[in-house]
Structure 1
Amino acid sequence: MTDFVKRTWCEINLDHIQYNIDLIQKTAQKEVIAVVKADAYGHGDKYVCRELARAGVKWFAVSGISEALVLRKEGFRQNILILGYTPPDCAEALSDNNITQAVYDLDYAVALDQALRETGKTVNIHVKVDTGMHRIGFEQSEAHSAAREIVKVAALPSFRTTGIFTHFCHSDSFDLSAICYTKEQMHRLDTVIRELKAYGVSFEMVHAQNSAGIICYPDDEYNYVRAGIILYGLAPSDELEHMIAVKPAMSWKSIVTMVKTVQPGSAISYGRTYTAEKEMRLATVAIGYADGYSRLFSSKADVLIHGKRCRITGRVCMDQMMVDITDVPEVQIGDEVTLFGTDGEETISADELARIAGTINYEIVCNVGRRVPRIYLKDGKPVGVEDYLLG
């Protein structure tokens, strides 16, 4: 069950997933909607959802119907909320698989309702309100009220309107303007809920707090929260890195495939962007940007070998890269390389790589490629493998 091709792989600590959801539930003191879109942020939704189900999670959130149907195919009977768009011609699949759909626009709602009427089936929906992110949602602002449009949606015969939600766009900062903006978003959601109540429309579920909101705004009056990045042990932003004691679930490994000595003046990798100034020992490592390890790490990021930092030398290639092992003479072919994670007393975090690449930790873990097997650990021992290529 735990056999895999030992080229490059990720290790997912399921004990940390369990620890994180327990901590989130205690922190939020509300029902948790676990956001498992993008294959559980690259961690593998099948194994992650099993752990979350064991912890009593009753709701999963995904980005689209394909992700929802994968969970149903795996046998998960929990409620599933699609946060984004589902084509109207897939409306029957929503009903047949008991999937809740976000509805965020009147024209979209009418099209979805019409498709359902042709089948005679109904779907649960959560209404998405745009309180200031301006991505999707019924606009609620000083100049525009979402309530009248949402009333029309709630009246459509194919829908059971069970929830309402919004999304904070700047709740991951303690900057005063960010705090004021987030509180304004809450005020706008409260306003539309109050207006809808006057029209006789109410909701079983109200949710706004994302991972950052759970940390920074624990006292809102909504009855559900949506936990995303903190489920996987990563902070929503650098500012919040030490605000909740979650544990990273993913580490990323590879192996040394060749060891060589190069002379002064030797140009390393594509474009000759790195030239050896002295005699160096290099290790070739079996990973590249096709695995999701960004070319932006070229000559900037470190890896860990035998618990010591070794700098990438020259450009990251599609499937391989070179690192400087001059100060780690014991390195040999087959040695394990840690791209992020802990080896001995040293740790390289996804956040460290994100800062080098000018991005966020979300992108680092989500970008791990599908040719990289995920190895699942409990109590430090392998309990399963997800190999997307070999099955």
Structure 2
Amino acid sequence: MLESYSRCWAEIDTTAIAHNVNEIQKIAGNTKIMGIVKANAYGHGDVTCAKALRECGIDFFGVSSIDEALRLRQAGIQENILILGYTPNEHFHYLHEQNIVQSLVSFEYALQLNAYAKENNVVLRAHCKVDTGMCRTGIIYQDQEKNMDKIIQEYRLSHIQVEGIFSHFPVSDELSNVSKAFTLHQIELFQEVLENLKQEGIEPGIRHIQNSYGILNYGDLGFDYCRPGLLYMGVTSDDSIDIVSNPDFIPILSLYANVSLVKWIQKGQSVSYGRHYIANKPTKVATISIGYADGLPRMVSNQNLEVIVNGVKCPLIGNICMDQCMVDVTNVESVQQGDEVCIIGTQKGQRVTVDEISRKAHSINNETLSCITSRVPRLEKRVK
């Protein structure tokens, strides 16, 4: 841990992960949890989160790429790792060298993997991806086109050990009748694929289909694993979206920066690039050492986004810069260089959420958190 905090930093409350996992398990029932730690665990720190999840009994992790899988292996994570995305041919050797499970993003891709494995006299572990409605990766199995033959062929490839099968929900976060019908039909299609495999004498292996909102809104579907990402981090994609369940999540990430300068400006003076903020009265301005290169979206400039300065909520003013932003601290009685500013989290009884940033950025919390950049240290939460 750093001895001091000279610019901006994120604090991760790893103790809250166990609480959040327990809340997920209450909803998921007997369905086991595959911890999704892709994109540096949505900006929270993949290794830190994976180790905390492992302490909760999580034995399977999901990542997006071979790079992310290798990062976990190098950090001592020996549990099962599933690459949800594509691995280039030149990196196929890592799959068997590091005992990593590869998703079969297409039938043609499965043939490439099998040819490599046969040539090198190895067997690669894999999960079959079935496209029941996302139309992103996987073998299409939808009403318009049911490629059951290709799914069966993947299971029968000589040098691919297909250990599981999965699909993905695109609208499990929506509770309209149309979206619920679409999701329920995806489940029906997935179950149809499983039944067809069994009729062919093929054991499907590990079955998983539920993403975070698939867990929140559909509970225990009777499959083997579910795939929460943001949930164990204590947040959902959008606080305004209604959900069926009522979990008690604790956000694990807080974001802070320091005051670098405090000054008074007079009526008529402007702040930051573009002069979009012009003071209409004498105003005390604090410059804060965080900007869009740290992950605070420039899009939220001049939208009355509030941060907490010494326990007082204060609005950002003017355009957010690459490394800095400015805050109206006129109502803060005492503020000086070095004071701690809370961007996300709680301070002296006041709270600001990542969702407030996401709404003003016309985005979702997944993106906002994932965009906190690598130059922002992730530190274990301190006792305040």
TM bucket normalised to smaller: over 0.9
Secondary structure at 1:92 match in 2: helix
Tell me if 1:366 matches 2:375: no
Equivalent-residue separation in structure 2 for 1:4 and 1:48 (angstroms): 23
Show the counterpart of 2:280.
277
Q: Is the aligned partner of 1:350 residue 2:340? A: no
Q: Does 1:326 align with 2:315?
A: no
Q: Output the CA distance in 2 between the equivalents of 1:125 and 1:321.
A: 47
One-letter amino acid matched to 1:337: V
Runs of 4+ more than 4 Å apart: none
**Who is 1:224 aligned against?**
225
- TM-score of the superposed pair, with normalisation by structure 2: 0.96
CA distance 1:46–1:219, change in 2 (3 Å): closer
Partner of 2:302: 299
Deviates more, 1:113-122 or 1:21-30: 21-30
Shift of 1:350: 0.7
Contact 2:209 2:227 in 1 (8 A): yes
Q: CA deviation at 1:290?
A: 0.6
Work out the CA distance in 1 between the residues paired with 2:4 and 2:180.
47
Question: 1:307 offset after TM fit, Å?
Answer: 1.4
Number of residue pairs matched?
380
By how many angstroms is 1:199 displaced?
Answer: 1.9
Correspondence for 2:241: 239
1:129–1:146 Cα contact (<8 Å) kept: no
CA contact (8 A) 2:27 2:220 kept: no
Question: Residue 346 of structure 1: CA displacement?
Answer: 1.6
Whole-angstrom CA distance in 1 between matches of 2:375 and 2:4? 11
Q: Give me the whole-angstrom Cα distance separating, in 2, the residues matched to 1:232 and 1:104.
A: 27
Alignment of 1:301-320 (within 5 A): 301-320=305-324
Contact 1:290 1:318 in 2 (8 A): yes
Counterpart in 1 of 2:19?
19
How much does 1:369 deviate? 0.7
User: What SS does the corresponding residue of 1:337 show, helix, strand or coil?
Assistant: strand
SS of match in other structure, 1:124? strand
**1:239, distance to aligned residue in structure 2 (A):** 1.8
Alpha-carbon distance between aligned partners in 1 of 2:49 and 2:271, rounded to the nearest angstrom: 40
SS in 2 for 1:191: helix
* Match in the other structure for 1:57: 58
Whether the 8 Å contact between 1:211 and 1:236 is mirrored in structure 2 is no
The amino acid of 2:282's aligned partner reads E
Q: In structure 1, what is the equivalent of residue 151 of structure 2?
A: 150
TM-aligned CA deviation for residue 2 of structure 1: 4.1
Q: Return the offset for 1:338.
A: 0.5
- Superposition deviation, residue 4 in structure 1: 4.9
Structure 2 partner of 1:3:
3
In the TM superposition, what are the counterparts of 1:180-219 in structure 2 within 5 Å? Answer: 180-219=181-220
CA displacement 1:320-378 (0-9 Å, x = unmatched): 11110111131111110011111122211111111010000111111101000011137
Deviation, structure 1 residue 27? 2.5
Aligned to 1:261: 264
Q: Does 1:134 align with 2:135?
A: yes
RMSD between aligned residues: 1.4
User: 5 Å matches for 1:106-145?
Assistant: 106-145=107-146
Q: Is this contact kept in 2: 1:304–1:310, CA < 8 A? A: yes
Structure 1 residue 156 displacement after superposition: 1.4
